Structure 1
Amino acid sequence: MVKHMLLLCPWMKAVWFDCPFGYSPDLASISTLDSWLIGFLSSTFVDGDQRDWGVSLFMFCSWEIWKARCKALFKDLRPSPQLVLSQAISCLEEFSRAKDLATCAPLINSGAPTRLYWSSPPLPFVKINIDGAWEAQWVVIRDHTGSLVGATAQYCYLSSAAE
């Protein structure tokens, strides 16, 4: 099923071939997803920086393919290879910018890692925690004792984490 989803669909082949590395999978040599990934990376990317970029683009393409297939199955929306690839590249660019910012940030504590704990809000406030998902937002609300006040999940269709 995964092999079909990521490789055998005609529009899927267009996504991989249109990628900046112009990949056309040799379907006869692929038996498992991990063998495909290893073969793909070893044949396409040689040096470390290019390999990291390739792995990231591969992962974002796979994620966007998954989302497009879900929309095709559950919302009857025809997948567009160009849109999938455009969104994957956009995600990769956003990821690269965030990674660059993270490496420029000064280190506050270079010692042993510290554990992070949830801290309660002062009375009469509540604390609202929101996840960072793109298509569904989970919200959990707790009071000063840590007791659950409420929770919800809602779909919201965003094109990137920045929205």
Structure 2
Amino acid sequence: MQGATSSSTVVRDDVRQRLWSLKIVPRFRHFLWRVLKGIVPTRQRLWNKGVRCPLFCPRFDQAAESVEHALRDCPWSRRMWFASPLGFSWPADLSQSFGEWCCSLLLDAPQEVVEIFATVCYYIWRARNLLCFDEKESSEMGVVSLAMNTLHAYKETQQQMETHSTAPRDRSKQKWNAPPSYCVKVNVDASGSGSSWGLAVVIRNHFGNAIAAQHRPLLQIL
């Protein structure tokens, strides 16, 4: 028995650039890239590669599991999309492949929509794998909640890291902390201008007393 093959989509440079610029969890981007290239290991793709495995959808055993079926046409996936913040309701007669539709979305949709779309795609596939390999059924609302919480947590963390990296440091408020009594603390600093630079090292005990110090010029920097 042979099912129709989900074809690879020709990915334009502007689509590729938009995809890799998304500020989402990296594995979400990688999964969407696999969707665009037609290399998601659905049952239909494995079957067509000669792997003797079940062909039909693990949830809806009346259709071969293509990438279109797994991520869009399966009744469970349709409910997942409708429950997501995007509220998608896919038309039954959509002629585009899922990869082609993704390319159009990447080009035309706002950044936030594309980020949510990529995240939901990944979590639909993740829920499918939990069912196939761990026999764990997932509720649509539970998966949507997990997907959105993960996306929001990642974006908040990235924003905090960007804020921290760009915030000016007030050295006047920095305080030297003494080491434990059984240790010494080594502080190192460098300064200079142009091609003339120097390096300084100070070693202090737990009382804050300097027990050794050294300053040396560095080799000329070309």
TM norm structure 1: 0.55
Q: Please state whether the residue corresponding to 2:87 is helix, strand or coil.
A: coil
Residues 38, 30 of structure 1: CA spacing in aligned structure 2 closer, same or farther, 3 A cutoff? farther
Tell me how far apart the structure 2 counterparts of residues 27 and 35 of structure 1 sit (CA, whole Å).
16
Letter in 1 for 2:74: C
Question: Alignment RMSD, CA only?
Answer: 2.3
Matched, 1:91 2:128: no
Q: Aligned residue pairs: how many?
A: 102
Alignment match, 2:40: none
Matched, 1:33 2:98: yes
Matched, 1:6 2:71: yes
Residues 36, 30 of structure 1: CA spacing in aligned structure 2 closer, same or farther, 3 A cutoff? farther
Deviates more, 1:27-36 or 1:62-71: 27-36
Residue from 141, 147, 164 that aligns with 1:105: 164
Matched, 1:22 2:87: yes
Tell me how far apart the structure 2 counterparts of residues 37 and 91 of structure 1 sit (CA, whole Å).
21
Deviations 1:74-114 (A, max 9, x none): 12122311111111111111122022113213259xxxxxx
Tell me how far apart the structure 2 counterparts of residues 30 and 99 of structure 1 sit (CA, whole Å).
38
Letter in 1 for 2:85: P
Q: Where in structure 2 are there 5+ consecutive unaligned residues?
A: 1-65, 168-222
Report percent identity of matched pairs: 25
Residues 41, 19 of structure 1: CA spacing in aligned structure 2 closer, same or farther, 3 A cutoff? farther
Tell me how far apart the structure 1 counterparts of residues 111 and 150 of structure 2 sit (CA, whole Å).
15
Moved over 3 A (4+): 38-43
Letter in 2 for 1:3: E
Q: Please state whether the residue corresponding to 2:93 is helix, strand or coil.
A: helix
Q: Where in structure 1 are there 5+ consecutive unaligned residues?
A: 46-50, 109-163
CA contact (8 A) 1:30 1:36 kept: no
CA contact (8 A) 1:41 1:55 kept: yes
* 1:14-163 → structure 2 map (5 Å cutoff): 14-40=79-105, 45=109, 51-107=110-166
What is the CA distance between 1:41 and its match in structure 2? 5.6
What is the CA distance between 1:65 and its match in structure 2? 1.0
Deviations 1:49-88 (A, max 9, x none): xx22111111111111111101111121223111111111
CA contact (8 A) 1:6 1:62 kept: yes
